[in-house]
């Protein structure tokens, strides 16, 4: 799924953050975001997407603040900021009536379906599922950061379940709608 590639900067951040620290992780994620944006700008039939632009701005902003502001962030503290930023990107995309999944879906669906109410509704539902997943992640990370004796295993499990749930839902829901439409015919 092409949409999952858009989350590559977050994966790069998670890996590099663990291995080399937050500032380098944020810079590596910003660089990964830049590569994705360039790919979309240079490839035919592609254009930069809300999620990729927002991710680039998010990681560049956090990296610059990390390098020049010298905050005393913990690993979880940085992750809260990253995931909260991602949640904001998804929510803003829906508020401006361009759910972030819409641009990815249009690359895979025939143009005649782009303006159908069902197609747009499906994208709002999937974007909402991702927003819910990111909200769960932020809440779990805030609990890990601020709730004394909060079990790490519970926080990590909530984060993993939220991500896996969003991925599975993104794959399942459009197929579910298609099969429901076929049954109604």
CA 65, 70, 73: angle at the middle one, nearest 5? 90
Are 17 and 73 a contacting pair, CB within 8 Å?
no
pLDDT score at 182: 84
What pLDDT digit, counting tens, does each position of 94-107 carry? 999 999 999 989 98
Closest by CA position to 146, among listed 70, 99, 77: 77
CA 60, 158, 148: angle at the middle one, nearest 5? 85
pLDDT score at 57: 96
How many domains is the chain built from? 1
By CB atoms closer than 10 A (0-12, 13-18, 19+), residue 25 is: buried
pLDDT score at 166: 96
Tokens 């819409």, located at residue: 102
User: Which pTM does this prediction carry?
Assistant: 0.88
Full residue range of the structural domain in which residue 6 is found: 2-184
């Amino acid at each position: 799924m092409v949409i999952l590639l858009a989350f590559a900067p977050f994966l790069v951040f998670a890996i590099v953050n663990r291995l080399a620290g937050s500032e380098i992780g944020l810079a590596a994620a910003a660089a990964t975001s830049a590569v994705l944006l360039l790919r979309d700008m240079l490839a035919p039939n592609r254009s930069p997407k809300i999620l990729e632009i927002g991710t680039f701005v998010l990681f560049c902003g956090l990296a610059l603040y990390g390098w020049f502001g010298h905050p005393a962030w913990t690993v979880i503290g940085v992750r809260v900021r990253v995931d909260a930023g991602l949640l904001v990107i998804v929510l803003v995309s829906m508020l401006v009536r361009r759910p972030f999944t819409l641009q990815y879906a249009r690359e895979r669906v025939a143009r005649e379906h782009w303006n159908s109410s069902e197609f747009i509704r499906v994208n709002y539902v999937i974007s909402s599922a991702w927003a819910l997943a990111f909200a769960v992640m932020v809440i779990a990370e805030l609990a890990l950061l601020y709730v004394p004796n909060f079990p790490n295993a519970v926080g990590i499990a909530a984060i993993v379940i939220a991500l896996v749930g969003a991925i599975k839902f993104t794959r399942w829901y459009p197929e579910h709608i298609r099969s429901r439409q076929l049954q109604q015919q």
